[in-house]
Structure 1
Amino acid sequence: MPDVTTTSAEAASDTVTHRGEAAFFDVDNTLMKGASLFHVARKMYQKKAFTMGDAAGFAWKQAKFIFRGENLNDVHSVQDSAQKLAAGISTDFVRQLGEEVYDEMIVSKIWPGTRALTQEHLRSGRQVWLVTATPVEVASVIADRLALTGALGTVAEIEDGLYTGKLVGEILHGPAKARAVQALAIEQGLDLGRCWAYSDSYNDIPLLTAVGNPVAINPDTRLRAHARDHNWPIYDFRSGRRAATLGLRAATGVGVVYGLWKGIAMVRRR
């Protein structure tokens, strides 16, 4: 039987081979179930940073996000609302909030399959970055907790340690993700033709096509069709695909509304 043991020299050689390579992961519905910003909003409500009406609006957008996938208008609506609500809040508060949100809400919603992919890339000597419209403070907490290389996220304007309610640049969404990754590649000396990108959303086609190895994870209908047409790998870590549950979606519409009401009521009691 041949000896298949990998020596330290061989391992080091393999790591050198993958220098200049990286894997980029979207967060919402790719790394975790649902929208991370919803959980930030929920935690902010618990800390009395905004009202029940604001919380209900976030909850409804979260339900739509889970059932129909990412929608550009919803992303901008949630982000705009969050920025306005964050005006005057300290950076220290948000940093602590991000830690609590991860421990109490996000960690249990991370797809084990996606996390395994991040770890495989790290073991292969590649950098692993999160690329998300989520505020960079929250994205960085997720990256740190998963021992990833780092995170690219939406950046909020700060003055004297307080958020102003404005953005620095643009929401990191759609083509903006591709531009951010291209800038990072120049900074880090990455060869994007040898890099990987993972997303669930058709809106991330610019990011996926910016690298040599695009992969669809839990894809929405349009991304699934695009991935098949272009022979991209498709991973689906959901317990049941939406394509097979159209009838269930209609049947559970009332259940979703009831669940939202119960969830908000539970938050109110807390």
Structure 2
Amino acid sequence: MVRVPFRGRAARIGAEADDEETRALVAGEASAAAAETEVPPAPEPDLTGAAFFDVDNTMMMGASIFWFARGLAAREYFTGRDVASFVWQQAKFRIAGTERSVDMHTVRDNALAFVAGRSVQEISAAGEEIYDELMADRIWPGTRMLAQRHLDAGQRVWLVTATPVELAKVIAHRLGLTGALGTVAEVVDGRYTGRLVGEMMHGESKAQAVRALADRERLDLSRCTAYSDSSNDLPMLSLVGTSVAVNPDSDLRAIARSRGWTVKDFRTGRKAARIGVPTVGAAALSGGVVGGLVALRRRNRWPF
């Protein structure tokens, strides 16, 4: 039998301990790495509950259609005068608040005149670019978090907006939402005619669209939630089991308080909340729209 010197045995035992420690360390690091890369389990789908979000001033700061039009104007799709005319029509529509107060036929017929003759593919591609350039940074983080909570609970989330449905779908896709209901433009041979199919997605039309979607998807509206900033959306808000006023105008704030609805205000200033002017109107009157158009005029030297 070969006797191992004491020092030799100690060295060997130490080496074995080092090896075990190394193996344990490597195993621990591997486990930690696996834990870091492990994808959390998907939530159980909630097949009967869903959430519906308005876009302008609810999901996004300002009016999505204005930023879209401004992006198209920067690409010389039309003149600054066209933008100004379009924005003024939209502002009258939003400020008036009721279909009886404005010429709805004029608003409807001119709502998408600025894309007449353009291909759907072209406008959709422009919408992707314009979202990145002008809209992505204007998403309210607080509202985005509210939408994510519904997704995390396994519910589907739709945008419901007067914005053209193609643009609404771009926004929904970029936010990881289920889909969007929006104003539908007439298309012939792959090109927009500038006319609408049916009415603008506004007021009662939103409620009708949500009701039709609920029937198709077999949703229980009493388990659904709707979010909006405007009293114009009362038909949709009153349709669901839970209603939330987000950055509300003065009328909706008062209604929410009287009905016990939750109010979420993500604006830093309280002046807008007190005034409560609807989105496009507020932008036009406060100089947001005017300032943007003036900037475009100066840069492109448009005569308006």
The two structures have a TM-score, normalised by structure 2, of 0.74
- For the residue of structure 1 that corresponds to 2:186, the secondary structure is strand
Which of 48, 54, 58 is 1:20 aligned to?
Answer: 48
Task: Give me the TM-score of the superposition, normalised by structure 1.
Answer: 0.83
The answer for unaligned runs of 5 or more in structure 2 is 1-40, 277-284
- Indicate the SS of the match to 1:234: strand
The number of aligned residues is 253
SS, match of residue 157 in structure 1:
strand
Question: What's the C-alpha RMSD, in Å, of the aligned pairs?
Answer: 3.0
Q: Deviations over 1:46-96 (max 9, x none)?
A: 222211211233455788899x79776599866643422221111011111
Tell me whether 1:149 sits opposite 2:178 in the alignment.
yes
Q: Is the 8 A contact 1:134 1:154 kept in 2?
A: yes
AA aligned to 1:93 is E
Q: Which residue identity is paired with 1:145?
A: R
In structure 2, the residue matched to 1:40 is: 68
Match of 2:32? none
In structure 1, the partner of 2:198 is 169
- 2:152 match: 123
Q: 1:128 touches 1:148 (CA, 8 Å); kept in 2?
A: yes
* Alignment map for 1:62-211 (pairs within 5 Å): 73=102, 80-211=109-240
The alignment partner of 1:15 has SS state of: coil
Measure, in 1, the Cα distance between the counterparts of 2:96 and 2:146: 22
User: 2:300 corresponds to which residue?
Assistant: 268
Change (3 A) 1:63 1:85: closer
Q: Any conservation in 1 of the 2:160–2:181 contact (CA below 8 Å)? A: yes
| 3-state DSSP of counterpart to 2:44 | helix
Q: Secondary structure at the match of 2:112?
A: helix
User: Taking structure 1 as reference, are residues 256 and 129 closer, same or farther at Cα in structure 2, changes over 3 Å only?
Assistant: closer
Match of 2:82 among 51, 54, 73: 54
Whether the aligned pair in 1 keeps the contact of 2:86 and 2:111 (CA below 8 Å) is no
Could you tell me how far 1:109 is from its partner in structure 2?
0.6
Q: Residues 199 and 208 of structure 1 are in contact (CA less than 8 Å); yes or no, is this contact kept in structure 2?
A: yes
Deviations 1:152-191 (A, max 9, x none): 0011111101111211121110000000000000111100
- Whether the 8 Å CA contact 2:250–2:274 is kept in 1: the answer is no
Cα distance in structure 2, aligned partners of 1:206 and 1:265? 39
The 1:65/1:110 distance shift into structure 2, 3 A limit, reads farther
| Cα pair distance change 1:65/1:88, threshold 3 Å | closer
2-side partners of 1:116 and 1:74: how far apart?
A: 37
- The reply to whether residue 215 of structure 1 matches residue 244 of structure 2 is yes
Retained in 2: the 8 A contact 1:95–1:138?
yes
In structure 2, C-alpha distance between the alignment counterparts of 1:75 and 1:113, rounded to whole Å: 33
Aligned-partner Cα distance in 2 for 1:124–1:143: 18
Q: CA deviation at 1:262?
A: 4.0
> What letter corresponds to residue 67 of structure 2 in structure 1?
H
* CA contact 2:110–2:195 (8 Å) conserved in 1: no
**Aligned pair in 2 of structure 1 residues 233, 173: CA closer, same or farther (>3 Å)?**
same
Contact 2:247 2:273 in 1 (8 A): no
Give the whole-Å Cα distance in 1 for the aligned partners of 2:47 and 2:90: 38
Q: Which amino acid aligns with 1:123?
A: D
* CA distance, structure 2, for counterparts of residue 69 and residue 77 of structure 1: 14
Q: Within 2, Cα distance between the matches of 1:195 and 1:50?
A: 41
1:250 corresponds to which residue? none
Out of 235, 259, 270, the residue aligned to residue 291 of structure 2 is 259
Q: How does 1:236-255 map onto structure 2 within 5 Å?
A: 236-241=265-270, 242-244=272-274
